Structure 1
């Protein structure tokens, strides 16, 4: 049986769960919620880089992304940073929706499924 690895679990969630060569991340939000959209997005992508690296993978192995925006008007700004962050021809399957997030200062939240 394959082992399940949970990264920094708490009673509610883990930062990531690795199973059978797949890595599932939590929904990652910016550490500084008072920052603007561009800064929050850059921070989220940097956190995802670190989390994927911790599990021996990177953004070239992303299978699916789920993205929540506080305001869909930020989608173009997101896509600018997103496409710069992704490897050429490496875009995953993706959903991007407008949502009410857990804290009104959260502007973007991203969750990934990747493989090793």
Structure 2
């Protein structure tokens, strides 16, 4: 059985779990109270950092799930995402509207990626 590596574990969750060459990130959020673009930039930096620590990068993302507290913010979030995403290797992606953990969060992004070979 393959080992499971967990990053930044707490009593409730880990920020990343790595198993069989796959990286599963917990939902990443930005700084509560900031705007959609600022939260998205922070989230994407956290994703970059976690993927690097897990032996991966954004070119290896297989799936992204994006939750917005209001779909009216979709274009603003996409403007930041589009500047960040590896356009040669875009992941499968879904986006939807959901109440997030606290009203001050506007965006949450969940990532599944492959480790680098």
**Fold shared, TM-score > 0.5 on shorter chain:** yes
TM norm structure 1: 0.95
Q: Which residue of 2 aligns with 1:27?
A: 27
Verify: 1:5 aligned to 2:26, yes or no.
Answer: no
Q: What stretches of structure 1 move > 4 A for 4+ residues in a row?
A: none
Q: Which residue of 1 aligns with 2:41?
A: 42
Q: Distance in 1 between matches of 2:60 and 2:87?
A: 12
Verify: 1:102 aligned to 2:101, yes or no.
Answer: yes
Say how many residue pairs are matched.
115
TM norm structure 2: 0.94
Q: What residue ranges of structure 1 are gaps of 5+ in the alignment?
A: none
Partner-residue secondary structure (3-state), 1:75: helix
* Aligned-CA RMSD value: 0.9
Q: What residue ranges of structure 2 are gaps of 5+ in the alignment?
A: none
Q: Which residue of 2 aligns with 1:82?
A: 81
Stretch of structure 1 that moved more, 39-48 or 83-92: 83-92
Deviation at 1:61, TM superposition (A): 0.2
Q: Which residue of 2 aligns with 1:72?
A: 71
The C-alpha deviation readout for 1:5-44, integer Å capped at 9, x for no partner, is: 01121221100000000000000001x2121111111000
Verify: 1:58 aligned to 2:62, yes or no.
Answer: no
